[in-house]
Structure 1
Amino acid sequence: MDFLAGFSAAQIAVAIAATLGAAFVRGLTGFGFGILLVPILALALTPVEAVLAINIMAGLLALTEIRLILREAERSALLISTLVVVGTAPGLMLLAATPQDLARLLIALVALSAFGAILLPRRSAAQPGAGATTAVGLSAGVLTGFAAMPGPPVVPYYVGRDIPRATAKASMIGIFGVAAVAGIASGSAIGVLEWKIVSLGLALFPLVLFGNWIGSLAFGKVSDPVWRSFVGTVLGAAAVAALLKLV
């Protein structure tokens, strides 16, 4: 464990437990990994360390599912992914310049917004216009850099529409994979990606694979109302817990 010498035993324990839980939810839903994990991990690590470690894990996970993405994702995912790349670096620079306590509060609020988005009524399957799609992509990029959470704008874009669950899941997985790579590249470019962060992400990745696999076994075996209720409950609990810890 010398490669994790930069972290305490308590930090590593929190990271292990939170990563397993978040990976399970990600396998079941296709999203929620960063939304769930960042608020918890940012209480044990600095916000920048938490965001970059999660981007490393999320990027590696997306690479294992590239065939699913190419087969099932909606074409809109390509445009949104491109815009995510544009917005990520400004978001990470904003995070690096924000006081840690304020950053933790803002990250928790972002997670809470994802809970609210899940509760919105479902819309038709029609793809939103270019303006709405552009706004989703750019805001997801900024949130990728600032909180490793492209989910709050992306999730309602897909889950909120009456499209096949497999299409929504594959589209989100593809976008989140690109977002993770953009976050890693931006962190390296601005000089905040340290070797100990890379080590932590790589060390936790087997847990991500295991938790995601268990969650994937349940995907499609629960009804849509149960699926949405489960996601909303977990997202809300994670956001509220992070807010209460800060207060």
Structure 2
Amino acid sequence: MHDISIIQIVLCGIVILSAAFIKGMTGFGFALLAVPFLSLIFPMQILVPAMSLFNLVSSLVILLKLQEKIKAYYFIPMFVASLGGIPLGVYALEYVSSDTLRLITGILVILFSVQMLGKIKLAKHFLNFPIVFAGFVSGILSSSISVGGPPLVIAMNRKGYPKDKFRGVFAWFGTFSSFFTTVAFLMKGMIEMQSVNLSLFCLPILFFGSHVGAKFSGKIEPDKFRKIVIGINIITGSFIVISSLVN
């Protein structure tokens, strides 16, 4: 059992609000920005189940608001593939130390951020095939370090999905994947009351921050701001890697 202090809750609120504001303004990067900071505040064994519950509820809300129709062809293959990755991630979360998971998180945040800056060029093979491998990787990362979004973002950007399809596919996948990840955590007895409370605390902050951020989206040059956020991710990831290695 892990005790959560008032200071941790306050810091968590600040991080969630900032990440949600940026997501509302730029349309990306909530988990990529929030999880590295939150991993400095909470043990991964508390944080990851909380984020799973958090993602399940927020994905359901987005799904209920969706107006565009998304064919099952676009999200079912990646979801089925994620089912093979989720048990591996749960196993890692249960048996790998929190510091090692933080180290992995930091390294992946740096790699994903550099790719999003366009510094890593991806091959153009298999563009006509459904997204499968990214779904599998997302399943592992979602259930182990709660940063499962970037592989899907990269895969869908690579295919050139328009904004509406991108948003719809992400909402459907996030709902299914978060549900089965949460079920896996429940079956393993890995969801403590602290994780539930943390998730419930963060949800209203997410919706408020996203709403306010969306109001500012037209007032700031999105591409420039996006690069600044990614730069922050790289710095944060580097700090996490160094601190994990020192520990």
TM-score interval for Structure 1 and Structure 2 normalised by the shorter chain: 0.7 to 0.9
Match of 2:214 in 1: 216
Name the TM-score, length of structure 2 as normaliser: 0.83
Q: Tell me which moved more, 42-51 or 163-172.
A: 163-172
Which of 19-28 and 206-215 deviates more?
Answer: 19-28
Residue 56 (structure 2) pairs with residue 62 (structure 1): no
* Match for residue 11 of structure 2 among 14, 18, 23: 14
Structure 1 residues not aligned, in runs of 5+: none
- The count of residues paired between Structure 1 and Structure 2 equals 242
Which residue number in structure 2 is paired with residue 193 of structure 1? 191
Structure 2 stretches lacking a partner, 5+ long: none
Please give the per-residue CA displacement for 1:97-145, whole angstroms capped at 9, x wherever unaligned: 1022111111111211210220237889998243x72111111101111
- Do the aligned partners of residues 85 and 217 (structure 1) sit closer, same or farther apart at CA in structure 2, a change above 3 Å counting? farther
CA deviations 1:35-62 (Å, max 9, x no partner) are 2222221222111211111122221111
- Paired amino acid for 1:203: F
Give the Cα–Cα distance (whole angstroms) in 2 for the partners of residues 78 and 221 of structure 1.
37
Q: Percent identity?
A: 21
**TM-score by structure 1 length?**
0.83
Matched, 1:148 2:109: no
The answer as to whether partners of 2:68 and 2:165 remain within 8 angstroms in 1 is no
Amino acid at match of 1:8: S
Q: Distance in 2 between matches of 1:231 and 1:33?
A: 10
What RMSD, in angstroms, separates the aligned Cα atoms of the two structures? 3.0
Out of 23, 35, 57, the residue aligned to residue 38 of structure 1 is 35
Q: Distance in 1 between matches of 2:145 and 2:67?
A: 26
Residue type at the aligned position of 1:19: I
Aligned in 2, Cα 1:219/1:73: closer, same or farther, shift over 3 Å? farther
Contact 1:68 1:170 in 2 (8 A): no
Find the counterpart in structure 2 of residue 169 from structure 1: 167
- Answer whether contact 1:91 1:142 (CA < 8 A) is retained: yes
Write the distance in 1 (CA, Å) between the matches of 2:239 and 2:200: 27
Q: Please say if residues 127 and 159 of structure 2, whose CA atoms lie closer than 8 Å, have aligned partners that are also in contact.
A: no
1:147 deviates by 0.9
Match of 2:23 in 1: 26
1:92/1:186 contact within 8 Å kept: yes
